[in-house]
Chains A and B, each alone.
Chain A
Amino acid sequence: GDSVTQMEGPVTLSEEAFLTINCTYTATGYPSLFWYVQYPGEGLQLLLKATKADDKGSNKGFEATYRKETTSFHLEKGSVQVSDSAVYFCALGTRKLIFGQGTELSVKP
């Protein structure tokens, strides 16, 4: 069945460091791909999405490119801030939305 695999956390970075969180997927058909973010004590919020191969989603300095050939959707940001500390979820969407296990990011000043 459909599934999403993310790199394990926690990931700890210093402010202004480069961020990559890996995400790979298995799916039949042509799913949409998403990154959601969860701040402490809150529900999930959509960060960015891509609906077809080679699409790039971007928001708040974060980017991810839908790579069909490698079945990947890695999240990147060039310079992280303390306020980016959260849990990040990769997700795959067809008739329903399937999430990865989440990657906790902690950014230190």
Chain B
Amino acid sequence: NAGVTQTPKFQVLKTGQSMTLQCAQDMNHEYMSWYRQDPGMGLRLIHYSVGAGITDQGEVPNGYNVSRSTTEDFPLRLLSAAPSQTSVYFCASSYKPLQGAQEKLFFGSGTQLSVL
């Protein structure tokens, strides 16, 4: 009963390095999303996907890429890390929204990223 699995849990990068945060879910959810959480800013949506092959930008997409080649996986790529990307990242998934109304999100346990 894995739910939403994020890896790694912690990561330290140097400015300019690239990396991929992994997210996988085993609930056959069509909707998946990435958020970053910063003190005093709440959770801000980076990118989301409503199904395999379909992605869209959220509130803060710059500096991040995503792809959705399968229903299960939704990796988040940082192409050239910057200190401003130091944050806690959460992946979340849900059943496909019905009639435009978002359903309950299931969250992963988070990835704490530091960019030096």
Residues of A within 8 A of B (CB): 6, 29-32, 34, 36, 42-46, 49, 51, 89, 93-102
Contacts and interface: CB of A to CB of B under 8 A. Distances in A.
A30 B101 CA distance: 8
B100 A29 contact: yes
Nearest to B101: A32
B48 A51 contact: no
Contact of B43 (A45, A94, A99): A99
Interface string B31-65: 00101000011111100101000001011000000
A8 to B, nearest CB: 9
Q: Chain B: interface residue count, which band?
A: 20 to 34
Nearest to A31: B101
Contacts of A31: 101-102
Given A43-B108, A43-B109, A45-B107, A95 B42 contact: no
Contacts of A6: 42
A97 B40 contact: no
Interface in B1-54: 33, 35, 40-45, 48, 50
30 contacts: A29-B100, A31-B101, A32-B101, A32-B102, A32-B103, A36-B105, A43-B90, A44-B92, A46-B105, A49-B104, A51-B101, A89-B43, A93-B97, A93-B103, A94-B97, A94-B102, A95-B50, A95-B97, A96-B56, A96-B102, A97-B45, A97-B102, A97-B105, A98-B45, A99-B35, A99-B42, A99-B45, A101-B40, A101-B42, A102-B42
